[in-house]
């Protein structure tokens, strides 16, 4: 594969990542029950909500796969900002966003894929496992590291502020994306906010992804 073809493939892949990751978030958050009755949930309520909910678990599995896609925008924004006055925002934001994506993958693996496996356990045995599950969902022990997920929106927010500083994107796109990444980490139970944030990210980033693909040809 010659260099020009490789560059074209990478450009198309980058554009596809910008299109797919917000769509996956929109789908995943739309699968949560009680969207129109938002309230903060206790760990046991989160566990019970996931029990036997196949579509919710599918959404979580897709978000796990989406973590790889999230690294692509972080690296792309790093390359855009690397030569300008906001290079610091590109680098620091990329480091934090990539670390946050890793923690997001850990979160979905530890708490979400686990619940799909426990669907095969009878209810009486499942109830007996509740103390251990509560310890997991309360992030006891080393599970506290899963709070590192907050690095993901913080990293993208820093990069977006850098993009605003150098006017690398239209202001409306940067603003929508910034609001979206800051709200997408809203706690369990008020996913209507997360869904709204994902929609804002989709409105901002899908046209950008289409643009990247278009100029590759």
| Residue 127 falls inside a structural domain | no
| E strand or H helix at 176 | helix 171-183
- CA 26 to CA 17: how far, in whole Å? 14
> In this predicted structure, what is the pLDDT of residue 7?
87
Domain containing 63: what range? 3-39+54-106+148-214
| Residue 47 falls inside a structural domain | no
Contact (CB, 8 A) for 176 and 200: yes
Tokens encoding 41: 């949930």
| Residue 115 falls inside a structural domain | no
- CA 43 to CA 60: how far, in whole Å? 17
Model confidence pLDDT, tens digit, residues 14-31:
999 999 999 999 999 999
Task: Say how many C-beta atoms besides its own lie within 10 A of residue 139's C-beta.
Answer: 16
**Residue 32 pLDDT greater than 80, yes or no:** yes
> In this predicted structure, what is the pLDDT of residue 83?
85
Q: Read off the pLDDT band of 217 (50, 70, 90).
A: confident
- CA 156 to CA 74: how far, in whole Å? 7
- CA 191 to CA 184: how far, in whole Å? 9
Model confidence pLDDT, tens digit, residues 131-169:
999 999 999 999 999 999 999 999 999 999 999 999 999
Q: What is the mean pLDDT of residues 41-51?
A: 93
DSSP letter string, 145-206: GGGGGGHHHHHHHHHHHHHHHHT-S-HHHHHHHHHHHHHTTPPTT-HHHHHHHHHHHHHHHH
Model confidence pLDDT, tens digit, residues 58-113:
999 999 999 999 999 999 999 999 988 899 999 999 999 999 999 999 999 999 89
Tokens encoding 110: 């530890």
Q: Read off the pLDDT band of 1 (50, 70, 90).
A: low
Cβ contacts of 171 within 8 Å, gap of 6 or more: 164
**Residue 2 pLDDT greater than 80, yes or no:** no
| Residue 205 falls inside a structural domain | yes
| Residue 113 falls inside a structural domain | no
Q: What is the mean pLDDT of residues 34-56?
A: 92
Evaluate the CA torsion angle 25, 30, 33, 35 in order and state its sign. positive
| Residue 95 falls inside a structural domain | yes
The torsion of the CA quartet 210, 211, 213, 214, rounded to 10 degrees, works out to 110
- CA 12 to CA 167: how far, in whole Å? 23
> In this predicted structure, what is the pLDDT of residue 200?
97
> In this predicted structure, what is the pLDDT of residue 77?
97
**Counted domains in the chain:** 1
| Residue 189 falls inside a structural domain | yes
Instruction: Give the C-alpha distances (Å, rounded to integers) separating 74 from 77, 80, 171.
Output: 5, 10, 19
| Residue 208 falls inside a structural domain | yes
Q: How crowded is the C-beta side of 82, counted as CA atoms within 13 Å?
A: 8
């Amino acid at each position: 594969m010659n260099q020009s073809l490789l560059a074209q493939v990478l450009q198309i892949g980058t554009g596809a990542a910008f299109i797919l990751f917000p769509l996956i978030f929109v789908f995943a958050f739309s699968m949560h029950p009680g969207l129109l009755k938002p309230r903060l949930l206790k760990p046991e309520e989160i566990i019970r909500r996931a029990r036997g909910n196949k579509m919710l678990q599918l959404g979580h599995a897709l978000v796990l796969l989406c973590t790889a896609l999230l690294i692509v925008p972080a690296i792309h924004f790093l390359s855009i900002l690397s030569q300008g006055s906001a290079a610091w925002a590109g680098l620091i934001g990329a480091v934090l966003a990539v670390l946050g994506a890793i923690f997001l993958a850990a979160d979905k693996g530890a708490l979400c894929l686990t619940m799909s496996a426990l669907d095969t356990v009878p209810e009486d045995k499942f109830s007996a496992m509740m103390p251990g599950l509560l310890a997991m969902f309360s992030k006891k022990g080393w599970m506290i590291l899963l709070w590192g997920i907050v690095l993901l929106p913080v990293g993208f927010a820093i990069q977006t502020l850098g993009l605003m500083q150098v006017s690398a994107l239209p202001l409306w796109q940067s603003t929508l994306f910034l609001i979206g990444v800051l709200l997408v980490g809203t706690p369990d139970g008020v996913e209507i906010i997360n869904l709204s944030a994902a929609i804002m990210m989709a409105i901002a980033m899908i046209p950008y992804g289409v643009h990247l693909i278009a100029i590759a040809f």
